[in-house]
């Protein structure tokens, strides 16, 4: 029989590689869980141990296919129906976050729909890192713990010991994110202004600011096909920069992303393990956020503030 308010951590099928590290850092093994699949593809999550009265943490990123999101919703429902005391969803990567507003007529706001689905399923709390847009936190009427990748990226960049460091945003929309990163490194920043005719296809790009003789670090929340980063690196080097590397929290890496990165002018691409890499690359370095999530889980368990995990408060 489970003890009252015992913490139990479970992993969905998509994030087992990261969940195992989080559980290890936390000091507790993953809970027993099985996701059965019927012959027609229908999935049925089952907890292999009691969660009655427990504080349950469910770890699952939700990139396509939609089965990842559906599995998470079913995990929440199963935990609720098994009388879990408190259900916290840990979303290392919040899928559909890029559809956070109506940027043209007759489109869905998918991020809000996902928030509604999680709330309807019975989530008590959400934990995630580097949302595509911070205001997505407002889509929930439940507490949201929004962790920051700067906690692991800033020490890495400082260790590189780069002179004349310059932070660059690959687009205007990410300027605030890049400015916050630059602040922790006491560095100036520039902006790459891009224009798209359609998704994942850049029509033109220009650099706003002087990069002559600088070691430039491009900073963004995610990398998809890699087209933007590779184009930005090429233009920045053409403008006289000494080197260009990129930092992105979520390595979606779809399409020809790996080929694009290998053939690019980037020195390296630094990412986290919120999503698994499909293949290895000599230019890609992975920094784990398992310890960061484990510390946050511990603070939630003990009803302590997690603000100490942010660089602003260190």
Positions marked catalytic: 194
* DSSP summary character for residue 298: H
What would the DSSP string read from start to end of 59-109?
A: E---PSSTHHHHHHHHHHHHHHHTT-SEEEEEESS-TTTT--S-SSTT---
Helices 150-160, 175-184: crossing angle, 10 deg rounding: 60
CA distance 151 to 126: 19
* DSSP summary character for residue 231: H
CA distance 297 to 62: 19
Cis peptide before 60 (omega within 30 of 0): no
Q: How many CB atoms sit inside 10 A of residue 38's CB?
A: 8
In the block, residue with structure tokens 């009252």? 4
* DSSP summary character for residue 115: H
CA distance 168 to 234: 13
CA distance 312 to 189: 19
In the block, residue with structure tokens 């790009």? 205
CA distance 66 to 68: 5
Q: Is 299 exposed, middle or buried (0-12, 13-18, 19+ CB in 10 A)?
A: middle
CB of 294 within 8 A of CB of 81?
no
In the block, residue with structure tokens 């260009």? 244
* DSSP summary character for residue 39: T
């Amino acid at each position: 029989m489970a003890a009252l308010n015992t913490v139990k951590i479970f992993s969905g099928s998509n994030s087992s590689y990261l969940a195992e590290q989080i559980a290890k850092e936390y000091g507790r093994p993953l809970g027993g869980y099985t996701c059965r699949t019927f012959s027609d593809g229908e999935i049925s999550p089952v907890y292999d141990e009691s969660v009655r009265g427990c504080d349950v943490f469910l770890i699952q990123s939700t990139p396509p296919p939609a089965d990842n999101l559906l599995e998470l919703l079913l995990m929440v429902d199963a935990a609720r129906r098994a009388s879990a005391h408190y259900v916290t969803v840990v979303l290392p990567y919040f899928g559909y976050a890029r559809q956070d507003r109506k940027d043209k007529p007759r489109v869905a706001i998918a991020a809000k729909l996902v928030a509604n689905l999680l709330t309807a399923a019975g989530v008590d709390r959400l934990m995630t890192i580097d949302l595509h847009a911070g205001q997505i936190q407002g889509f929930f009427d439940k507490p949201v713990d929004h962790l920051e990748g700067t906690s692991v990226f800033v020490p890495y960049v400082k260790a590189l010991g780069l002179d004349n460091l310059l932070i660059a945003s690959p687009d205007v929309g990410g300027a605030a994110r890049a400015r916050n990163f630059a602040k922790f490194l006491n560095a100036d920043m520039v902006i790459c202004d891009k224009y798209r005719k359609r998704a994942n296809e850049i029509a033109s790009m220009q650099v706003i600011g002087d990069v002559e003789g600088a070691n430039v670090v491009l900073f963004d929340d995610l990398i998809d096909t890699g087209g933007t980063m590779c184009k930005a690196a090429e233009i920045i080097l053409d403008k006289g920069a000494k080197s260009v590397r990129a930092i992105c929290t979520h390595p979606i890496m779809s399409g020809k992303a790996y080929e694009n990165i290998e053939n690019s002018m980037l020195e390296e691409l630094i990412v986290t393990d919120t999503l698994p890499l499909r293949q290895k690359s000599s230019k890609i370095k992975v920094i784990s956020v398992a310890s960061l999530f484990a510390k946050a889980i511990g603070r939630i368990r003990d009803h302590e503030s997690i603000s100490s995990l942010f660089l602003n408060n260190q």
